[in-house]
């Protein structure tokens, strides 16, 4: 039987394999190609936004440097933050890993709507171009949050920012919708919800958040755009509007967005740990349901970003308690991972190293998060470097370490070749040490009172800032090791084989890189994926392919 | 892919239909959130304002909007009978009731255009105007898209794309039309009555 007929017979997608270059690599409908497109585009924006950060650190290396003007500095941190959140972390985790792994793990041939998938990718590069091109027209200067009234007074670049993030919002909403339908409707026979791999649980929750919260973001940005362009007085105090209204609608998206940026990382950590300690994951259901709980709670905590914006006391109290509640499901996950590691046969390959880095730095960021959730402390620390440190511990120490863990883990599935382990370990240790050297001292200068978003500062903080800047340059340089390793693997990387790590989820049951239709026969799932030591719980897969390699 | 729909078996069609239906429902949910955002903004500004509508601003004329609402709800009824026709394979009933729906939808849009051109307030004029024009404008845009959607599926029906068993496009158009109706109920109460 021809491949296309197999696809039709098993209810897969009925589009034939593409034959032209454009259909194969540019306007591709294949989720694996789209994932690579996301990785390449997101990687490019990671480099650009990272360079912005390095330039800012050059400015901050001394208390009165003149590397950047004050205006350019404001533009740099605004675009750096916006790009890292919307053009790097969210597209890489959802668009990249979600696309690459989720359909494979549920035993599907593609996502539910491949066409929509292609559209949502192609909304992404124009958004990035708009955002970076805003430098030509006066980039936004009010940070990635763009609070009015400043956001209303800035030149045209802020409108470009609105358009760019609007495009990203539409793209993420479509992806969320698409993934959620895929998970609900396209799981392989026998894969009940409690047999789904934990990455799928995380991706489904993220998809739900993207669908709801990001739709709200698009609406909010349209509101800001018309307020700027047509003087619609939503945020104009003189006409009865309220700047705080923007903060509400923005954070009603952007707090769930924090979990859009971390839940997929939680998911891939839950995949990597059992594989590298050869033990069943501890508390499968606890991890799965805590993802859902985090997803729901994330809609009820947005105003903790606004403790200093004039909330009522009862509101502050409510949001403080709800915010601290989120630590419970998060703690459930952390403890379950630690319990999985406990007594396991730990194999310290690069994916697990990055996961351990993730665990330590993210947990630390979580602790400072609980501190900041407390109203009295937040009122004191708000808009200081303490917040910058907290944010980077969760977004860099959490999401970016997660992204690298996932890249090292699924690189063989994506490309068919392994990355070099020695270089990977150099990358990890250099990145881990310089990351902590960069962001840990920021807690102290924040507590001492250095405000964030300033281009010059009190010379009393000069020594620490110089140390931070040097560490930040090392951190940037550590990324070059990965870049070299990735390029090198194309020619010199060891051929991976279908299952180099001995994983038990469905993506490892097929050749690497995955063939066009993923599964020749749709697999049948007999039980959950993490029972190490028992026979594989699948029928209809090639047992030969899935054999655990001898390391 | 619509061209492929007739080439697959009934079981496969049901599977594809299930996916599309769920996807379309999710789309409507996220669309609901977009309206929800502006409704929240309206309620927030309204709560913050000492008097409402703000001083010097008059509410738009209730009776015109009431008539317009009846036109829109009537279009919901004709849409329903159109789908009943399709379900019982009475294509003529489907076609004429869909034509009626399109006409009623266009009448609603004309009524709205008349209202817009005869109001003194603008969306830049006051917070009431800002919410009113943003929300009713967004809704009107949805009605406009709905009319285009209905014209498209009507043409496709006349060409024989849809059958009694396989007509997901019509189901989607109907759901969309009723969704737009329901949103109007909320807007009508917000701006004209409450």
Chain B residues with CB under 8 Å of A230 CB are 123-124
pLDDT tier for residue A2 given thresholds of 50, 70 and 90: very low
The span from the CA of A123 to the CA of A23, in Å, is: 17
pLDDT tens digits, residue range A125-169?
999 999 999 999 999 999 999 999 999 999 999 999 999 999 999
Judge whether A364 and A373 are in contact, CB under 8 Å.
no
Q: How far apart are CA A144 and CA A455, in angstroms?
A: 16
Q: Residue A533: left if φ>0, alpha if ψ -120 to 50, beta else—which one?
A: left
ipTM: 0.92
State which residue of chain B sits closest to A114, comparing Cα positions.
B1
A245–B45 CB contact, under 8 Å: yes
Residues of A within an 8 Å Cβ radius of B: 8, 11, 14-15, 112-113, 115-116, 173, 176-178, 180-181, 184-186, 211-212, 214-216, 218-220, 223, 226, 230-234, 239-242, 245, 248-249, 252
Distance CA A522, CA A241 (A): 56
Given a contact cutoff of 8 angstroms between Cβ atoms, the answer to whether A44 and A106 are in contact is no
Token code pair at residue B40: 């929240």
Q: A3-539 adopts what CATH topology?
A: Cytochrome C Oxidase; Chain A (1.20.210)
**Residue B186 to residue B180: CA distance in whole angstroms:** 10
Rounded distance between C-alpha atoms, residue A94 and residue A220, angstroms: 22
A464 neighbors A61 (Cβ within 8 angstroms)? no
Whether B54 shows a pLDDT value over 90: the answer reads no
- Confidence band of B5 (pLDDT split at 50, 70, 90): low
Sole residue written with tokens 């209730």: B62
Contact A11 B15 (CB under 8 A): yes
Q: How confident is the model at residue B2 (pLDDT cuts 50, 70, 90)?
A: very low
Cα–Cα distance for residue pair B119/B56, rounded to 1 Å:
13
Counts of helices then strands in chain A (DSSP H, E):
20, 2
Higher pLDDT, A224 or A1: A224
From the list B135, B107, B132, the residue with the least C-alpha distance to B120 is B132
Q: Which percentage of chain B shows pLDDT scores above 70?
A: 97
By a Cβ cutoff of 8 Å, what residues of chain B touch chain A?
Answer: 1, 4, 8, 11-12, 15-16, 18-19, 22-23, 26-27, 29-31, 33-34, 36-38, 40-41, 44-45, 48-49, 54, 123-127, 130, 133-134
End-to-end CA distance of chain A: 37
Residue pLDDT, tens place only, A166-210? 999 999 999 999 999 999 999 999 999 999 999 999 999 999 999
> Nearest C-alpha of chain B: how many angstroms from A218?
8
Cite the DSSP H helix spans in A298-374. Answer: 313-341, 350-373
Which of B30, B31, B123 to mutate to test binding with chain A, by most A CBs within 10 Å of its CB? B30
pLDDT of the residue at A325: 92
Q: CATH for B2-193, among 3.30.1330.10, 1.20.120.80, 1.10.287.110, 3.40.50.300?
A: 1.20.120.80
- pLDDT at position B112 is 94
Cis peptide before B53 (omega within 30 of 0): yes
CB nearest to B18's CB, from A113, A185, A212: A185
Closest CA to A412 of A282, A265, A517, A514: A514
**Would you call B45 and A240 a contact, using CB atoms and an 8 Å cutoff?**
yes
Instruction: Give CA–CA dist A25/A38, Å, rounded.
Output: 12
DSSP one-letter code for A419: P
The closest CB to that of B19, out of A112, A115, A234, belongs to A112
- Closest alpha carbon to B73 in B173, B190, B177: B177
pLDDT band for B6, please (50, 70, 90 cuts): low
pLDDT at residue A547 greater than cutoff 70: no
> Is the per-residue pLDDT at A13 higher than 80?
no
Q: How many other CB atoms are there within 10 angstroms of residue A343's CB atom?
A: 9
- Strand partners of residue A451: A384
In three-state secondary structure terms, A80 is helix
Measure the CA–CA gap between A452 and A444, rounded to whole angstroms. 13
Separation between Cα atoms, residue A243 and residue A1, nearest integer Å? 63
Q: Which residues of B touch A116 (CB under 8 A)?
A: 23
pLDDT per residue as tens digits for the range B69-126: 999 999 999 999 999 999 999 999 999 999 999 999 999 999 999 999 988 888 888 8
Name the phi and psi angles at A116, rounded to 5: -65, -35
pLDDT of residue A19: 83
Q: Is B124 within 8 Å of A231 when comparing Cβ atoms?
A: yes
Q: What is the model's pLDDT at position A459?
A: 94
CA distances from residue B165 to B10, B162, B169 in whole angstroms, order as listed: 9, 8, 12
SS3 A539: strand
- Give ∠ CA B11-B16-B20 in degrees, rounded to 5: 145
Predicted local distance difference test score (pLDDT) of residue B56? 81
What is the arithmetic mean of pLDDT over B27-43? 95
Q: How far apart are CA B58 and CA A413, in angstroms?
A: 64
Our measurement of the distance from residue A477's CA atom to the centroid of its chain's CA atoms, rounded to an integer in Å, reads 21
Across the interface, whether the CB atoms of A248 and B40 are under 8 A apart is answered: yes
Best of B28, B57, B127 to disrupt the A interface by mutation (most A CBs within 10 Å)? B127
Model's pTM, two decimal places? Answer: 0.93
Give tens-digit pLDDT for B24-33. 999 999 999 9
Q: Which of B44, B189, B68 is nearest to A311 (CA)?
A: B44
The structural domains of chain A, with segments of one domain joined by +, span 3-539
| Residue B121 CA from chain centroid, whole number | 25
Evaluate whether A35 touches A414 at the Cβ level (below 8 Å): yes
How close A259 gets to chain B, by Cα (Å)?
Answer: 18
- In this predicted structure, the answer to whether residue A549 has a pLDDT above a threshold of 70 is no
CA distance B3 to A333: 47
Residue A538 φ/ψ, nearest 5 degrees:
-130, 140
């Amino acid at each position: 039987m021809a491949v296309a007929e197999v696809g039709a017979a098993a209810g897969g997608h009925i589009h034939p394999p593409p034959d032209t270059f454009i259909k194969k690599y540019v306007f591709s409908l294949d989720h694996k190609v789209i994932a690579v497109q996301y990785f390449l585009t997101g990687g490019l924006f990671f480099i650009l936004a990272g360079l912005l950060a390095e330039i800012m650190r050059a400015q901050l290396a001394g208390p009165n440097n003149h590397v950047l003007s004050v205006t350019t500095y404001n533009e740099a941190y605004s675009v750096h933050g916006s790009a890292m959140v919307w053009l790097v972390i969210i597209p890489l985790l959802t668009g990249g890993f979600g696309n690459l792994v989720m359909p494979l793990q549920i035993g599907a041939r593609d996502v539910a709507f491949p066409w929509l998938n292609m559209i949502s990718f192609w909304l992404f590069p124009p958004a990035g171009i708009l955002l970076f091109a805003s430098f030509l027209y006066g980039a936004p200067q009010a940070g990635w949050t763009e609070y009015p009234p400043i956001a209303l007074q800035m030149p045209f670049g802020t409108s470009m920012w609105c358009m760019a993030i609007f495009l990203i919002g539409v793209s993420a909403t479509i992806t969320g919708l698409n993934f959620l339908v895929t998970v609900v409707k396209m799981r392989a026979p026998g894969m009940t919800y409690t047999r789904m791999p934990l990455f799928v649980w995380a991706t489904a929750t993220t998809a739900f958040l993207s669908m709801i919260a990001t739709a709200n973001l698009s609406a909010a940005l349209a509101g800001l755009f018309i307020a700027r362009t047509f003087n619609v007085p939503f945020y104009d105090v003189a006409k009865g509007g309220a700047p705080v209204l923007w903060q509400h609608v923005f954070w009603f998206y952007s707090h769930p967005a924090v979990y859009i940026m971390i839940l997929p990382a939680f998911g891939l950590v839950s995949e990597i740990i059992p594989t590298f300690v050869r033990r069943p994951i501890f508390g499968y259901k606890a991890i799965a349901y805590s993802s859902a709980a985090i997803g729901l709670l994330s809609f009820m905590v947005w105003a903790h970003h606004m403790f200093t914006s004039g909330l009522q006391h009862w509101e502050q109290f409510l949001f403080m308690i709800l915010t601290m509640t989120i630590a419970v499901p998060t703690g459930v996950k952390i403890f379950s991972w630690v319990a999985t590691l406990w007594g396991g046969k730990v194999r310290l390959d690069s994916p697990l190293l990055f996961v351990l880095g993730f665990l330590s730095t993210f947990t630390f960021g979580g602790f400072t998060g609980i501190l900041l959730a407390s109203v009295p402390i937040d009122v004191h620390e708000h808009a200081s470097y303490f917040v910058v440190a907290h944010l980077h511990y969760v977004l860099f120490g959490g999401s970016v370490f997660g992204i690298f863990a996932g890249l090292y883990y699924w690189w063989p599935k994506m490309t068919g070749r392994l990355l070099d382990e020695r270089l990977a370990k150099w990358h990890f240790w250099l990145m881990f040490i310089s990351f902590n050297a960069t962001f840990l001292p920021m807690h102290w200068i924040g507590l001492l009172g250095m405000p964030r978003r300033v281009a010059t500062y009190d010379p009393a903080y000069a020594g620490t800032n110089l140390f931070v800047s040097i560490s930040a340059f090392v951190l940037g340089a550590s990324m070059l090791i990965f870049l070299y390793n990735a390029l090198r693997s194309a020619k010199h990387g060891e051929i991976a084989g279908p299952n180099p790590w001995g994983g038990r989820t469905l993506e490892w049951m097929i050749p690497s890189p995955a063939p066009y239709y993923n599964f020749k026969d749709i697999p049948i799932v007999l039980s959950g994926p993490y029972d190490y030591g028992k026979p594989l719980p699948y029928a209809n897969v090639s047992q030969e392919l899935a054999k655990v390699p001898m390391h | 892919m619509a061209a492929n729909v007739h080439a697959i078996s009934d079981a496969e069609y049901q599977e594809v239909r299930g996916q599309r239906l769920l996807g379309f429902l999710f789309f409507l949910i996220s669309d609901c959130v977009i309206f929800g955002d502006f409704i929240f903004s309206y309620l927030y500004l309204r709560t913050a304002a000492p008097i409402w509508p703000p001083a010097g601003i008059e509410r738009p004329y209730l009776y015109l909007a009431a008539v317009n609402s009846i036109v829109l709800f009537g279009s919901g009824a004709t849409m329903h009978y159109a789908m009943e026709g399709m379900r019982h394979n009475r294509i003529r009933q489907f076609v004429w009731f869909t034509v009626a729906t399109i006409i009623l939808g266009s009448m609603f849009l004309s009524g709205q255009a008349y209202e817009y051109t005869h109001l003194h307030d603008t969306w830049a004029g006051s917070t009431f105007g800002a919410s009113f024009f943003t929300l009713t404008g967004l809704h009107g845009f949805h009605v406009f898209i709905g009319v285009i959607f209905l014209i498209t599926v009507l043409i496709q029906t006349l060409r024989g794309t849809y059958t009694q068993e396989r007509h997901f496009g019509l189901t989607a158009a109907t759901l969309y039309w009723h969704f737009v109706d329901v949103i109007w109920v909320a807007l009508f109460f917000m701006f004209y009555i409450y």
